Amino acid sequence: MCNFVFVFVVKSEMSELNPTTSSSNQAVSKKSFQPLASNWCHSVSQLVKVNFEWTIDNILLQDELTSTPFFAEEYPDFKWKLKLETKEKTFSINVLLNEEKRLSKSVGLKMAVIDKMREKVFPIEKSVPKNASLPVCLFLVSRDAVLKKSDTLLINGNITIYCEVEIIMPKEPVAGKTALGLFTSSIDCKDDLIHNLEELFESMKLSDVIFDVDGQNFEGHMAILSARSQIFASMFDDPTNDCIGFKIKVRDCEPAVFKRILRYIYTGWVPFAEEGEDVSYETIAKLLAAAEKFLLENLKNECEKHLIDRMSTENCGQMFSLADYHSADYLKQCALDFLSRFPLKMDAEEEEGNQDEEDDGSRNWK
């Protein structure tokens, strides 16, 4: 969810900046709001997103269907629905809002078909202006196009539609009066702090500990690591650990994964894409295991989300085993739900995998 802040400053004709306060004004962070007049206002808007997945049984035999409502928790009055209409040669998906005939606000709409690899096929985006007539026909695809890709689009004769709605909603404005040259708003230094910690991570200036990970050395700062992870705090306090001086050997973790762990500890984020390409499933799985090892719960949850986005009939079983072993409850529940939705497809692929194992004498895991 994103917030957009629009700042409007109205300066009175009678007001002038006091020259004696110019130096103090410049000392305030450029990223903080600096009103130049005694009257100021923040008009805030919130970009609200809600997405929806609709699985339709026996799509080729349906005539007309309407989905259940879906809505953002913050705005339950905006209830959206999808309506399927079929004709001799085409399928169409319409978007409805409550029982209204026209849109009261501009919206952004996205729609696609989800194939068995959990990838979006036939994606479409559309901006619909305020006062547009409802329902909005967002998605139109021919029967021939669906049939040509039936091997990937239809799972046991079912098709899954993905829809995302974006709408900008106003929030309560913030207004007030400020004496010239005096700013009541607090200075937000979080961005500077993250930037400084990222520079420290890259340089490791004044580091006081070295980690030996499979023969590769990584520097760190015990104070930062102890504050962010109870495992590291216990490691530094325990006199019986495998430590010689300030060098500690880390087992059961690859160097590339440990470097991502350190980056997350210092900066609070870790890249899940490199050079425009997503990080591999195997790397995320290893990162999840390392996050559990070092008790980094937020990073573990983030890994679960990225794995769920890549869940398919081919890897669902692996993800369930991974989640069960590392106590990733959210990922485990999603894998169970996926298995319950597509049991016949999973059984067929398991039989095919068993046949390959008999023929080759071994099983290759992707």
Cα separation values, 128 from 4, 106, 111, 134, 362, Å: 20, 6, 13, 10, 54
pTM, rounded to two decimals:
0.49
Residue 128: pLDDT band (50, 70, 90) is very high
Q: Which two tokens stand for residue 115?
A: 């194939």
The DSSP secondary structure of 25-85, one letter per residue, reads HHHS-TTS----SSEEEEEEEEEEEEEEEEEETTGGG-SEEEPPPB--TT-TT--EEEEEE
Beta strands 209-213 and 216-220, pairing class: antiparallel
Q: What is the mean pLDDT of the chain?
A: 80
pLDDT value at residue 242: 53
Residues linked to residue 42 through DSSP beta bridges, in sequence order: 7, 174
What percentage of the chain exceeds 70 in pLDDT?
78
Burial of residue 232, with CB atoms counted within 10 A of its CB: 0-12 exposed, 13-18 middle, 19 or more buried: buried
pLDDT value at residue 70: 93
Q: Which two tokens stand for residue 114?
A: 């989800």
HSE, side-chain direction, 13 A CA sphere, residue 309: 13
**pLDDT tens digits, one per residue of 16-32:** 334 444 444 444 444 45
**CATH 3.30.710.10 domain locations along the chain:** 193-349
pLDDT value at residue 148: 85
131/118 Cα distance (integer angstroms): 34
Which overall architecture, per CATH, does domain 47-170 show? Answer: Sandwich (2.60)
**pLDDT tens digits, one per residue of 131-175:** 999 899 988 888 888 888 888 888 888 899 999 999 999 888 888
**CATH 2.60.210.10 domain locations along the chain:** 47-170
**pLDDT tens digits, one per residue of 38-91:** 788 888 888 999 999 999 998 888 888 999 999 998 888 899 999 999 888 888
Stretch among 40-54, 283-297, 330-344 having the lowest mean pLDDT: 330-344
Whether cis (ω within 30° of 0) applies to the bond prior to 255 is no
Residue 245: pLDDT band (50, 70, 90) is low
Rg (CA), the chain: 27
Q: Under a CB-based contact definition with an 8 Å cutoff, are residues 78 and 129 in contact? A: no
CATH of domain 193-349: 3.30.710.10
Stretch among 34-48, 292-306, 311-325 having the lowest mean pLDDT: 34-48
Q: Give the residue-averaged pLDDT of 334-352.
A: 70
